[in-house]
């Protein structure tokens, strides 16, 4: 049995988890989430919060799993992409633990980790990936050693669109309550209006024009629920449209949806309907693993370890704020933890 400690600290969540390569795989999942009182996330405040919580969260992950640091075989840490000050906390904690306990250290790309946890949880081994979160909107799939990007946003990400819009019209934060986004609640009883732009360029989506136009409409007194309903409809339909073309282009027979916005019911329903139309298999992931967590980092580190990827020297474990998923070799593919 091999045990990995995974550490996540790229954005709003400091997460730590112990994952085993044998059932039941996920032995623990500890998290501390930074919630801004108002406005967006301030990198320095997050870093301060993470520094205060890191020891507690790692301790909790070990306690839940019932293992000691000595029994851990490797440490995996998300080194990017993300916010510099936040990333540095996870990197520092991981280097300190690797040094103190003499454990191999594996750098993990946060985006790859969102993909790997979706493949692990669904058992879909070779999917088209729809990765939608606060900072990312990417359609990707595996080809010749790496995940390749088949489409992305030209400006802001889907989660950022929903959060910023909700904040601008005064219905958030909190952005998500009881598993529903503020925009979903606001959209209840709304209907589609014609006045908002739907922008798809080639294989890419664009949301910033939609955001500006929607905020302006609410400012002019249009019904919030109609604008919420329409913004959500356009935002989701456009990402599903580029995913559909990605599916046709790559010829994949499976689809996964991952990243924070993958917790959204309506988006899952739309992706499922699109997949069914093309005879592709789709399985949703449990909402609690859609957003950032340490489990996905441990899963990915474990895959690297088991496929013979070399760990890095401590001084090489440096953060990479703009680390793209298509820069990372994935020699374990299509293997997952379940085989
Ligand atoms: P991540 O950075 O991967 O944890 O994703 C965070 C993003 O997911 C934020 O923009 C959240 O607003 C968004 N999100 C979380 N839950 C939902 C949901 N149920 N529907 C839509 N967006 C969500
Ligand atoms: Mg994320």
Whether ligand 1 lies within 6 angstroms of the CB of 263 is answered as yes
User: Phi and psi (nearest 5°) for 41?
Assistant: -85, 125
pLDDT of amino acid 88: 98
Binding site membership of 291 for ligand 1 (Cβ less than 6 Å)? yes
- HSE-CB at 207 with a 13 A cutoff on CA atoms is 28
Helix (H, G, I), strand (E, B) or coil at 139: strand
> Does 261 contact ligand 1 (Cβ within 6 A)?
yes
Chain position carrying tokens 């990198």: 43
Residue ranges of the alpha helices (H) in 146-207? 158-168, 182-187
* Both structure tokens of 169: 């019209």
Q: CA 142 to CA 152: how far, in whole Å?
A: 15
126-282 architecture in CATH? 2-Layer Sandwich (3.30)
The model's pLDDT over 129-170, given as tens digits with 9 standing for 90+, comes to 999 999 999 999 999 999 999 999 999 999 999 999 999 999
CB of residue 30 inside a 6 A radius of ligand 1: no
**Before 24, cis peptide (omega within 30)?**
yes
pLDDT given at position 319: 98
Residue 133 CA, ligand 2 centroid: distance in Å: 6
pTM of the model: 0.97
| pLDDT score of 74 | 98
Low pLDDT (below 70) residues in the chain: 39
Instruction: Say yes or no: do domains 3-115+291-327 and 126-282 share a fold.
Output: yes
- Which CATH architecture describes the domain 3-115+291-327? 2-Layer Sandwich (3.30)
- Alpha-carbon span 198 to 209, nearest angstrom: 9
DSSP codes, 218-267? HHTT--HHHHHHHHHHHHHHHHHHHHHHHHHHH--SEEEEESGGGG-HHH
* The residue to which tokens 């069914």 are assigned: 276
For residue 220, the CA-to-ligand 2 centroid distance in Å is 34
Q: What is the pLDDT of residue 286?
A: 98
**Per-residue tokens: 176:** 């998500």
Q: Hey, where are the domains in the chain?
A: 3-115+291-327, 126-282
> What digits encode the pLDDT tens for the residues 22-41?
999 999 999 999 987 776 77
Question: 176 in ligand 1 pocket by Cβ < 6 Å?
Answer: yes
Note the pLDDT of residue 36: 79
The rounded Å distance from CA 204 to ligand 1 centre is 20
* Model pLDDT, residue 41: 78
CA distances for 249 relative to 71, 112, 203, angstroms: 45, 21, 11
Q: Are 210 and 196 in contact (CB under 8 A)?
A: yes
Q: Reply yes or no: is the peptide bond before residue 334 cis, omega within 30 of 0.
A: yes
| Of the candidates 113, 138, 142, the residue with the CA atom closest to the CA atom of residue 11 | 113
CA of 173 to the centre of ligand 1 (A): 12
């Amino acid at each position: 049995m091999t045990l990995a400690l995974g550490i996540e600290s790229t954005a709003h969540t400091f997460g730590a988890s112990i994952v085993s390569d044998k059932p039941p795989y996920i032995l623990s999942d500890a998290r501390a989430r930074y919630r801004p009182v108002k406005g967006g996330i301030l990198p320095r405040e997050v870093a301060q919060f993470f520094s205060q919580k890191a020891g507690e969260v790692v301790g909790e992950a070990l306690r839940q799993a019932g293992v000691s640091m000595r029994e851990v075989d490797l440490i995996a840490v998300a080194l990017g992409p993300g916010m510099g000050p936040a990333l540095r906390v996870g990197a520092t904690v991981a280097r300190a633990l690797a040094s103190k306990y003499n454990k191999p250290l594996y750098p993990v790309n946060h985006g790859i980790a969102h993909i790997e946890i979706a493949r692990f949880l669904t058992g879909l081994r070779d999917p088209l990936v729809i990765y939608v979160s606060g900072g990312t909107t990417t359609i990707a799939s595996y080809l010749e050693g790496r995940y390749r990007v088949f489409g992305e946003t030209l400006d802001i990400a889907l989660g950022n669109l929903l959060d910023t819009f909700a904040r601008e019209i005064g219905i958030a934060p909190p952005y998500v309550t009881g598993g529903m986004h503020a925009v979903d609640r606001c959209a209840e009883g709304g209907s589609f209006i014609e006045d908002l732009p739907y922008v798809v360029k080639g294989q890419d989506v664009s949301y910033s024009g939609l955001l500006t136009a929607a905020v302006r409409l609410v400012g002019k007194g249009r019904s919030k629920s109609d604008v919420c309903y329409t913004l959500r409809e356009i935002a989701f339909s456009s990402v599903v449209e580029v995913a559909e073309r990605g599916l046709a282009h790559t010829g994949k027979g499976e689809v996964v949806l991952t990243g924070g916005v993958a917790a959204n019911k309506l988006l899952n329903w739309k992706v499922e309907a699109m997949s069914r139309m093309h005879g592709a298999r789709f399985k949703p992931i449990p909402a609690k693993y859609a957003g950032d967590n340490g489990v996905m980092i441990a899963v990915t580190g474990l895959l690297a370890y088991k496929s013979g990827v070399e760990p890095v020297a401590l001084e090489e474990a440096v953060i990479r704020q703009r680390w793209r998923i298509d820069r990372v070799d994935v020699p374990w593919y299509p293997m997952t933890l379940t085989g």
